[in-house]
Amino acid sequence: MGKLLLALIILVTGGAALVRPWVGICSYYLLSILGPQYIWWWNFDGLRVSLIVSICTFVGVAFKFIGSNGYDKNFLYNKLSLWTAVLWITLVISYLFGPYVDLYTSSVRTPSQLLYATTIIFVFYFMSLMEIDELNKLRYLVVVFVVSTLYLTYWANNQYLSQNWNQFNYGRLMGPFGITGNSIYNDENTFAMLFVTGLPFVYYWGWYQKRHWLRWLLWGVIPLGWHAIFLTGSRGGLVGLCMVLIAVVLLSNRKILALPLLLLFLLFYQWQAGDTMKERSDTISTYETEGSAQQRIAAWSGGLKMMADHPLTGVGLGSFITALPHYSETSPRVAHNTFIQFAAESGVGAGVAYLVIVFIFFRNSINIYRWCGECSKNIDIFQIDLYNKASLVSFVGLNVCSLFLSLNTYEVFFVLLIINNSLNQICKRSIAHGNNQVQVCN
């Protein structure tokens, strides 16, 4: 019965994606962020859901691109897209010319598999920039993120309450994974990132609700999201969560609520963090004597040496683990830093492109924030302001965590870029149609 229902959903979604490709875009990111194929893997077994949705969406975008209606090219032809394209090109060059690609020895994805997965991510990203060109389409993408966060918050807490200890790795909750063990969330730190980046959207989506009971219901889920991060035992997730709370307070018009909010978090942390989270968090400030932190520092040092030896191509896409023994005595591992992972594997150009993308995101967010503050408070401005604050806070948490984790293929990063680009271009289009605040969003 489950497979039959899923096949029907695939048929409807695929047909809709051919006519309205934004439906396929939202479906793709639902599969990427929620990961239903890992939660209900027995229904997805044998069905190429992601492939079918991707093909239908690509065909729909292609027909619309060459059709009479076309796209607003400003959503694709801008500095954010340019530097994202530069990043992708450097990844391809590093795969083709990286000196360690052919020496691959890691147990994770091969460079060719990584190139394929990365290319799919970038292709969908560029299609999304063209397709998510209206506020109502953006709303559905935000709903996908909110719903995914809410369900995985329930799922994480249910593993604890049902005492499903098989889902825990030495006391740390892993995300859902299928029978083969493959999953986007099988690493506890990556699973924690979902809540760090998703909870801001739950919070600001609550402000958008007119029904007070629904607003407080959404806000009531947030402490459960905190608990989910505690269950993962991720120190990076804890630091990212703290930065998210600080960012929410700084963007709030009611800063008097800062102290109660922080007190609530501290009380909840003392009550529900658990021994694993507390023991691991105690080592954050004593990294000099903590083994994992020392190994990270050694990996960063090795990554910097790789950048110095191979500034143009890097050591090769997906080859950091392979190359690290030649640059450091630490055990083979990823860089545990997104910038170093990009720059060491794909050259200094990749690192620069990544930093410029981050800079453009924050610049766009600030411009949108100012524009919303100076325009009349109609419903569209209110909605744009909430989406902008949610993505900005989420991006702050993600970037703080990226200092300690390699999140190079983490698709939430690209979802936030899509939201940022869409909001920025919608604001500019509104200005071009008669608003007198042109200088704010340029």
Half-sphere exposure of 410 (CA within 13 A, CB side): 26
pLDDT for position 390: 96
Task: Specify the range with the lowest mean pLDDT, choosing from 202-211, 225-234, 266-275, 386-395.
Answer: 266-275
How many Å apart are CA 195 and CA 245, to the nearest integer? 13
Based on C-alpha coordinates, what's the Rg of the chain? 22
pLDDT for position 438: 34
pLDDT for position 276: 62
Task: Specify the range with the lowest mean pLDDT, choosing from 78-82, 102-106, 232-236.
Answer: 102-106
pLDDT for position 434: 59
Mean pLDDT, residues 274-279: 60
Most confident segment among 38-42, 110-114, 379-383, 410-414: 410-414
The answer to whether the beta carbons of residues 83 and 356 sit under 8 Å apart is: yes
Is 251 strand, coil or helix? helix
- Scanning 233-326, the segments in alpha helix (DSSP H) are 235-251, 258-272, 274-281, 291-309, 320-323
Q: Exposed, middle or buried, 132 (CB in 10 Å: 0-12/13-18/19+)?
A: buried
pLDDT confidence tier of residue 436, bands split at 50, 70 and 90 = very low
Q: Is the pLDDT of residue 55 over 90?
A: yes
CA angle 72, 74, 80 (to 5 degrees): 135
Query: Which residue in 33, 63, 36, 68 sits closest to 49, CA to CA?
Result: 36
How many Å apart are CA 285 and CA 266, to the nearest integer? 17
Token pair, residue 268, equals: 């909840």
pLDDT confidence tier of residue 123, bands split at 50, 70 and 90 = very high
Q: For the segment 89-108, what is each residue's pLDDT rounded down to a tens digit?
A: 999 999 999 999 988 776 56
Amino acid identity of 178? Answer: G
Q: What helix, strand, coil percent values describe the chain, rounded to 5?
A: 75, 0, 25
Query: Which residue in 420, 417, 424, 423 sits closest to 122, CA to CA?
Result: 417
Query: Which residue in 369, 372, 373, 376 sits closest to 395, CA to CA?
Result: 369
How many Å apart are CA 78 and CA 91, to the nearest integer? 20
Phi first, then psi: give them for residue 175, nearest 5 degrees: -75, 175
pLDDT for position 289: 46
- Alpha carbon of 425 to those of 72, 76, 176, 422, 432: distances in Å? 10, 10, 36, 5, 10
Share of the chain above pLDDT 70, in %: 88
- Give the residues across from 169 on adjacent strands: 172
Strands 168-169 vs 172-173: parallel, antiparallel or unpaired = antiparallel
Sketch the domain layout of the chain as residue ranges.
1-70, 71-284+347-441
pLDDT for position 341: 96
Is 173 strand, coil or helix? strand
Greater confidence, 258 or 70?
Answer: 70
Query: Per-residue b/e over 90-100, b at no fewer than 16 CB within 10 Å?
Result: bbebbbeebbb
In the chain, what is the greatest distance between 2 CA atoms, to the nearest angstrom?
64
pLDDT confidence tier of residue 273, bands split at 50, 70 and 90 = low
Q: Is the pLDDT of residue 84 over 50?
A: yes
Amino acid identity of 266? Answer: L
The answer to whether the beta carbons of residues 321 and 333 sit under 8 Å apart is: yes
Mean pLDDT, residues 209-225: 91
* Owner of token pair 């619309």: 64
- Alpha carbon of 190 to those of 183, 259, 322, 374, 408: distances in Å? 10, 29, 22, 38, 11
Return the C-alpha torsion angle 102, 105, 107, 110, nearest 10: 0
pLDDT confidence tier of residue 24, bands split at 50, 70 and 90 = very high
How many Å apart are CA 387 and CA 382, to the nearest integer? 9
pLDDT confidence tier of residue 284, bands split at 50, 70 and 90 = low
Phi first, then psi: give them for residue 378, nearest 5 degrees: -85, 175
pLDDT confidence tier of residue 132, bands split at 50, 70 and 90 = very high
Is 69 strand, coil or helix? coil
Q: Is the pLDDT of residue 180 over 90?
A: no
Phi first, then psi: give them for residue 376, nearest 5 degrees: -65, 150
pLDDT for position 437: 42
Q: For the segment 301-326, what is each residue's pLDDT rounded down to a tens digit?
A: 999 999 999 999 999 999 999 999 99
pLDDT for position 235: 84
Return the C-alpha torsion angle 207, 212, 214, 220, nearest 10: 80
Task: Specify the range with the lowest mean pLDDT, choosing from 251-265, 289-303, 360-374, 389-403.
Answer: 251-265
How many Å apart are CA 319 and CA 344, to the nearest integer? 9
Mean pLDDT across the chain: 86
Q: For the segment 352-380, what is each residue's pLDDT rounded down to a tens digit?
A: 999 999 999 999 999 999 888 776 566 68
Query: Which residue in 393, 380, 375, 378 sits closest to 423, CA to CA?
Result: 380
pLDDT for position 433: 66
Share of the chain above pLDDT 90, in %: 53
pLDDT confidence tier of residue 391, bands split at 50, 70 and 90 = very high
pLDDT for position 377: 60
